[in-house]
Amino acid sequence: MGRILTVSSQKGGVGKTTTALNLAYTLGRLGNRVLVVDTDPQGGMALASNLRKKTTLGLAQYLQGEAQAEEIISPTKDGALSIIGAGVNEASDILAIEDASRDGRLEEALRALTAGFDYVFLDAPAGIGSTVIADFGVSDGVILMLQCRSLLLKSLPIFLKLMRQVRSDRNPRLQLEGALVTMWKGDDPLEREILEDLTRSVPEALFFRTVIPYDDHFEQASIRAVPMILLPDGRDTARPYLELAMEMKERELLRGMGGSKDEHTEGLF
Ligand SMILES: Nc1ncnc2c1ncn2[C@@H]1O[C@H](COP(=O)(O)OP(=O)(O)OP(=O)(O)O)[C@@H](O)[C@H]1O
Ligand SMILES: [Mg+2]
């Protein structure tokens, strides 16, 4: 059974699209069947991944009955993952996604489009709105992107509250997969202090151990529209996403280890 994860943040421009693309690509190259869906009406995934070179069709056309699933699910040429773009070519496409977020059709579409994958990443719009709530409505987990600034960390309780609300109203499966600190500037004493505080005061399960450092290479990868690991000098910069993929696998494994009494006492055979 595959897992659907929403990549969200309170503030814009903190690396949601970058994370969805790089983490998805890493998991895809590790042999998983992976899909990324751009649910951001202002979305940049089609640009960030160069999907536009192949098609301008996406979620908006599917929701308006102008395209079939197979026309909007685009596998990359190396087969590592598939991407569905937002398909926003006109202002009316933005409204189509927003309307569908409010009346349940986006959730229905996402359920239909995401079957058969091991991992689905929903690239969400910034902040809290009907599209994010629809994304949460179909998701198993949320990756919450945070910059290490004290003001931004204040968004954590709001997101946790929203998740609790969606969980109790419509989707009991929803969990916080983890908050992910990104654009981390290790040489900024204030950021270091905040990160140290966080690792001391917040339960380990809430935050990923992996932190994505601030690195100008990301801008270059965005311009070239490729996952970081494909840039000739991008391997070191891409490494945190490999670590993040491993950390996700570790969390899955540990969640799945029920530790039932029989397992402990009866052994493997
Ligand atoms: N760790 C990083 N270090 C430096 N720059 C980064 C990092 N991650 C992403 N960027 C750059 O920051 C910009 C914004 O990133 P991205 O588009 O992924 O953010 P976003 O949260 O999806 O934005 P939006 O809210 O507008 O959708 C991009 O130009 C990207 O290349
Ligand atoms: Mg984005």
d(CA 11, CA 268): 48
9 lines ligand 1 (CB under 6 A): yes
Beta strands in the chain (DSSP E): 3-8, 34-38, 74-75, 82-84, 119-123, 141-147, 175-182
Q: Which domains can be identified in the chain, with CATH numbers?
A: 3-258 (3.40.50.300)
Q: How many CB atoms are located within 10 Å of the residue 160 CB?
A: 15
Token reading at 261: 């009494």
Q: What is the pTM of this model?
A: 0.95
Q: Render pLDDT for 63-118 as a digit per residue (tens, 0 to 9).
A: 999 999 999 999 999 999 999 999 999 999 999 999 999 999 999 999 999 999 99
Residue 1 Cα, ligand 1 centroid: separation in angstroms?
Answer: 30
The share of the chain scoring above pLDDT 90, in percent, equals 78
CA Rg value for the chain: 18
Q: What is the pLDDT of residue 123?
A: 98
pLDDT at 170 over 80: yes
Residue 20 Cα, ligand 2 centroid: separation in angstroms?
Answer: 9
What φ, ψ does residue 69 adopt, rounded to 5°? Answer: -50, -50
Q: What is the pLDDT of residue 266?
A: 73
Q: Which ligand places an atom closest to the C-alpha of 38?
A: 2
47 lines ligand 1 (CB under 6 A): no
Q: Render pLDDT for 213-266 as a digit per residue (tens, 0 to 9).
A: 999 999 999 999 999 999 999 999 999 999 999 999 999 998 888 666 666 667
Token reading at 13: 């421009």
**Entry field: residues in the chain:** 269
